């Protein structure tokens, strides 16, 4: 069955452990029910999230994420159909941004806007394969 895979980036607004725990708690509960899986990379200056699941479930979830005031500048970076999940079995994996990700300075300088879809996918591929 074809699935939607969507990646977006955003700027955390009021990032701390409590906010992150709350987001992940909600995500894991809702996503399990909606057959959505994915991965949320979290850093003080950046959220990068991959969502995958049935078209309608991902569309509905992305709509509510767009409205969420715990982050700003929500920008879609990839939107495609796929046959296979990258994070099968993960209601929402979380990952602290690692050194191979764009640095804060690079993000501030607009690196995300110059990256293509493959670059965003590569970030999540590495996590899914536990490389890096």
Ligand X SMILES: Cc1cc2nc3c(=O)[nH]c(=O)nc-3n(C[C@H](O)[C@H](O)[C@H](O)COP(=O)(O)O)c2cc1C
User: Of the two residues 10 and 121, which places its CB atom closer to ligand X in the complex?
Assistant: 10
User: Please, what's the b/e burial string for 75-113 (b: 16 or more CB within 10 A of its CB; e: otherwise)?
Assistant: eebbeeeeeebbbeebbbbbbebeeebbeeeebeeeebe
DSSP string, 58-82: HHHHHHHHHH-TTEEEEEEEEEEEE
Tell me how far, at minimum, the Cβ of 77 lies from ligand X, in Å: 14
User: Of the two residues 7 and 65, which places its CB atom closer to ligand X in the complex?
Assistant: 65
Binding residues for ligand X (CB under 6 A): 23, 26-27, 30-31, 40, 47, 49, 61, 64-65, 68, 70-71, 92
User: Of the two residues 4 and 31, which places its CB atom closer to ligand X in the complex?
Assistant: 31
Strand partners, 6: 51, 79
User: Of the two residues 29 and 131, which places its CB atom closer to ligand X in the complex?
Assistant: 29
Tell me how far, at minimum, the Cβ of 26 lies from ligand X, in Å: 5
Tell me how far, at minimum, the Cβ of 106 lies from ligand X, in Å: 20
Tell me how far, at minimum, the Cβ of 38 lies from ligand X, in Å: 6
Q: Contact, 12 vs 22, CB < 8 A?
A: no
């Amino acid at each position: 069955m074809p699935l939607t895979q969507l990646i977006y980036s955003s700027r955390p607004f009021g990032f701390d452990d409590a906010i992150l725990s709350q987001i992940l708690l909600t995500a894991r509960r809702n996503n399990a029910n909606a057959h959505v899986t994915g991965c949320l990379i979290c850093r003080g200056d950046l959220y990068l999230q991959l969502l995958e699941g049935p078209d309608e479930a991902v569309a509905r979830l992305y709509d509510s994420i767009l409205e969420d005031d715990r982050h700003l500048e929500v920008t879609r970076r990839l939107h495609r159909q796929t046959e296979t999940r990258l994070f099968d079995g993960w209601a929402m994996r979380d990952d602290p941004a690692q050194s191979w990700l764009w640095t804060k300075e690079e993000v501030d300088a607009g690196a995300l806007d110059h990256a293509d879809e493959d670059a965003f996918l590569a970030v999540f591929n590495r996590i899914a394969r536990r490389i890096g």
